[in-house]
Structure 1
Amino acid sequence: MHPIVIVGSGLAGYTLLKEFRKRDTTTPVTLVTADGGAFYSKPNLSNALSAGKTAAALAGASAEKLATDLNAVVLVRRRVNAIDTAAQRIHLDTGELDYSSLILALGADPIPHGLSGDGAAAVLAVNDLDDYAAFRHALDGKKHITVLGGGLIGCEFANDLAHAGYAVDVVHLGSWPLERLLPVEAGQRLADSLATLGVNWHFGRTGKAVEQTATGYRVELDNGETIAADVVLSAIGLRPRTQLAQAAGIPVGRGIRTNHLLQTGAPNVYAMGDCAEVEGLNLPYVQPLMVQARALAATLAGTPTPVVYPAMPVMVKTPAHPVAVLPPRVGAAGAWKVECSDTGICALHVDAAGRLQGFALTGSETGRRNALAKELAA
C-alpha cells in the first residue's frame, strides 16, 4: 500500500498530519520537507525578537520526535523536483516515491524585491526558521533597520524591531499601512502609533537600489531619497508556490486551484494552506489553514468533508496598536462607516441596506471582533 504523502512541514503540513492521526492511526503517511522538519509556527517569526526568542527557541518538536509521535515517516532536506500524476509518483532529489494521495502544503515565497545595486543580494526576507536565524545573526550589533513593505508582515516586523530598540524605517508604496485591508482612518491610527514607538514612515515610495557603504547600506528610493541602513528586510508580500503543480499540468491561478474538498485538477492530489486557491480564494492566514486541515483529514480518513469557513477575523500582531480585520468580499458594494475615539477606530463596511459586510477594528475596539464576526456569520 502506497503512503499518503504530504509535501511541506509548515503549520499546514504538520497540522494536517496531526488531524489525520486523530482519525486514522495506521494508514502509512510520509511527510517530505526541504528544511529540517522541526515544528514551529510561522506567524511567530514576526514578533519573536522583542520576546528575545532565538530560532532554536521557536522550534518545537524535532522531525524525529514528530515521526515517532505521529507514526509517520518524515524525510528532511529533500526536494520534490516533479510530480507524475499519471503514475501517482513524486520525483525527489534522492529518488522516487509513490503515493496513494498527495497533499501539496508548499506554502508561499517572498515576492522578489527587484532592487538593483551592489547591496541588493544582502537584502533579507524572513519566510521560515532558517531565514529567521539568518536575520537574527545579521542584527547582531546593528541599530538601523529598513523594512520594505508596510503590509501585515512589514507592520508586525516594524513593531517588533522598534519595541526591541532598533531604529526602523518603513518604505511603503501605499498612502497608509495595510491599505488593502483598512480604511484610511484605521491605517493612519496604526501608522501614528508605530511612529510613536519610533518607526519612521516613507509612504508612497518604493525602494530602487541598495548600495554598500563603508558602514552598511544605502537604500535609494524612487524619488531619489536615501536611507542609511545596517540591515534591509524585504516584506513586500508573498506569492503562493505553484510552480511544481503547474509543471505537472495541475491548474493554477493565484494559487493551486482546488474545489471545496481541496481536490486539485489531478486525481488524488490535494492542496492546502498558503499555496492553495480554494474555490477562487487564497487565504494565507492561520484560521483558514486550520479549517482546511480538519476538513481534509476527515476526507482522507474516508468521510468527504468540504471546507466551510466561518467568519474569521485576522489579528495583526502590532501591540503598539492592535488591529482586527475581516475584509468585505472582493467586489462587495458598500462603504466604510467609521467611528473614531481616542483609544481606537471602529470601521464597519455596510451595504446600502445597512447590512454588515466586514469590519476593521483598532486599539480598544478590537474587543468587539467576536460579536461582529457572529453578526457577519448570521
Structure 2
Amino acid sequence: MDPIVIVGSGLAGYSVAREFRKRNKTDPLVVVTADDGQFYSKPTLSEAFRLGAQVSELASRSADGMAAQIKAEVLTETRVRHIDTATRSLLTTHGTIAYSQLVLALGAEPVRLPLAPASLETVFAVNDLSDYARFRAAAHGKKVVAILGAGLIGCEFANDMVHAGYRVKVIDIAAAPLNRLLPSANGQFLLNALRQAGVDWHLGTGVSTIERDGDGVVIRCTNGDALEADIVLSAIGLKPRTALVQGTSIRASHGISVDLSLRTSDPRVFALGDCAEVDGLWLPYIAPIGPAARVVASNLAGDAALVRYSAMPVIVKTPACPTVVCPPPLGVEGEWNTESDDSGMQSLFRDGTGLLRGFALNGAHTERASTLALSMPMLLG
C-alpha cells in the first residue's frame, strides 16, 4: 500500500499528521521536508529576544521525536523536484516516492527586493529556524539593525530587537506601519508607541541600494536619505510557494487553489497553510491551520469534511503597543469608525447594513477582541 505523503514539516504539515493519526493508527504515512524536520513555533522567532530564548531552545522536538509521535517516516533534507499526478509519485533529491494521497504544506517564502546581487548579500530574511539562527549569529555583537518593511513581521522584530537593546531603523514605502491591515489611525498609534520604545521610522520611501561600508552597510533610500546600519533584515512580505505545482494538473492562482474540502484540482492532492488559497482566500496566519488540518485529516481518512472559518483576529506581537486586528473581507464595502482614550484605540468596520465586519484594537482595547469576533459573521463556510 502506497503511503499518504505530506510535503512540509511546519505547523501545517505536522498538524495534519497528528490529526490523521487520531483517525487512523495504521496506514503508512511519510513526511518529506527540505530542512531538518524539527518542530518549533514559527511565531516565536519574532519574540525570542523578549522571551529570553536561545536558538537551541526554540525547537521542542527533533525529527526522530516527531516520527515517533506521529508513527511516520520523516525524510529530512529531502527536496521535492516534481509531482507526477498521473503516476502518483514524487521525484525528490533522494529518489522517487509513490503516494496514495498527497498533502502540500509548502508554506510561503519571503518576497525579495529587486536589488543588485551585491546588495542582497548583506540582507538577511527569516522564514524558518535555520534562517533565524543565521540572522541571530550575524546580529551578535552588533548595535544597529535596519528592518526593511513595516508589516506584521517587521513590526514584531522591531519591537523584539529594541527590547534586546538594539537601535532599530524601519524603512517602508507606506506612510504607517501595518498599512495593509490597520486603518491609518491605528497604524499611527502603533507607530507612536514603537517610536517611544526606541524604533526609528523611515516611512514613505523605498530602498535603492544597500552597500557595504566597512563592517556595516549604507542603505540608500529613494528619497535621498543614506542610513547606516550594522545588519539588515528584510521583512517586506511573503508569497505562497506554488512553483512545485507549475506544469502539473494542480491549479494555482495566488496560492495553490483548493475548495472547502482543501482538495486541489486533483482530488487525491490536498493543500493547506500559507501555500494554499481556500475558495479564493489567502490567509497566511496561524489561526486557520488548526481547522484546515482537521478537515484534511478527516478527508484523508475517508470522511467528508468541509472547512469553516469564523472571524479570526490576528494578534500582533508588539508588547510596546498591544495590537489585534481582524481585517474586513476583501470586497466588502463599509467604513471605519475610530474612538480613542488614554488606554488605547478602537476602530470598528461596519458594512452598509451596520453589520460589524472588521476591527482594529490598540492598547487596553485589545481585551475586546474575542467578544467582537464572536459577533461577526462566518468568514468562510
TM-score normalised to structure 2 length: 0.97
Letter in 1 for 2:113: H
Decide which moves more: 37-46 or 118-127.
118-127
Q: Is the 8 A contact 2:122 2:212 kept in 1?
A: no
Q: Is the 8 A contact 1:54 1:136 kept in 2?
A: no
Q: Is the 8 A contact 1:55 1:130 kept in 2?
A: no
Question: Counterpart of 2:304 in 1: which secondary structure?
Answer: coil
CA distance in 2, matches of 1:291, 1:226: 46
- For residues 76-126 of structure 1, the C-alpha deviation after alignment (integer angstroms, 9 at most, x for no partner) is 000000000000000001110000000000001100122237342120000
CA distance in 2, matches of 1:109, 1:95: 25
Alignment partner, residue 293 of structure 2: 293
The Cα shift of 1:294 comes to 1.1
Question: Counterpart of 2:90 in 1: which secondary structure?
Answer: strand
Alignment partner, residue 278 of structure 1: 278
Decide which moves more: 118-127 or 273-282.
118-127
CA distance in 2, matches of 1:130, 1:266: 33
What pairs with 1:156-175 in structure 2 (closer than 5 Å)? 156-175=156-175
CA distance in 2, matches of 1:258, 1:304: 15
Q: Is the 8 A contact 1:12 1:293 kept in 2?
A: yes
Is 1:369 the equivalent of 2:369? yes
Is 1:15 the equivalent of 2:39? no
CA distance in 2, matches of 1:222, 1:213: 19
Alignment partner, residue 249 of structure 1: 249
CA distance in 1, matches of 2:118, 2:81: 32
Alignment partner, residue 347 of structure 1: 347
The Cα shift of 1:309 comes to 0.4
The Cα shift of 1:236 comes to 0.2
- For residues 161-194 of structure 1, the C-alpha deviation after alignment (integer angstroms, 9 at most, x for no partner) is 0011100000011111111111111000100000
Is 1:70 the equivalent of 2:70? yes
Identity of aligned residues (%): 49
CA distance in 1, matches of 2:248, 2:146: 39
The Cα shift of 1:273 comes to 0.3
Letter in 1 for 2:258: T
The Cα shift of 1:247 comes to 2.8
Alignment partner, residue 314 of structure 1: 314
Question: Counterpart of 1:169 in 2: which secondary structure?
Answer: strand
Question: Counterpart of 2:124 in 1: which secondary structure?
Answer: coil
Alignment partner, residue 42 of structure 2: 42
Letter in 2 for 1:3: P
Is 1:181 the equivalent of 2:174? no
Alignment partner, residue 239 of structure 1: 239
* Uncovered stretches (5+) of structure 2, i.e. residues with no partner: none
Alignment partner, residue 99 of structure 2: 99
CA distance in 2, matches of 1:352, 1:69: 50
Decide which moves more: 246-255 or 146-155.
246-255
CA distance in 1, matches of 2:335, 2:270: 37
The Cα shift of 1:52 comes to 2.5
CA distance in 2, matches of 1:199, 1:32: 40
Is 1:335 the equivalent of 2:335? yes
- For residues 111-167 of structure 1, the C-alpha deviation after alignment (integer angstroms, 9 at most, x for no partner) is 012223734212000000000000110011100000000000000000000011100
CA distance in 2, matches of 1:127, 1:270: 23
CA distance in 1, matches of 2:70, 2:244: 27
CA distance in 2, matches of 1:4, 1:175: 47
Aligned residues: 378
The Cα shift of 1:14 comes to 0.6
- For residues 8-64 of structure 1, the C-alpha deviation after alignment (integer angstroms, 9 at most, x for no partner) is 000100111111111111111000000000001111111112223222210111001
Decide which moves more: 113-122 or 351-360.
113-122
- For residues 328-354 of structure 1, the C-alpha deviation after alignment (integer angstroms, 9 at most, x for no partner) is 110111000000112211100012332
Q: CA RMSD in A?
A: 1.1
CA distance in 1, matches of 2:116, 2:89: 40
- For residues 301-337 of structure 1, the C-alpha deviation after alignment (integer angstroms, 9 at most, x for no partner) is 1211111001111101000001111111101110000
Alignment partner, residue 123 of structure 1: 123
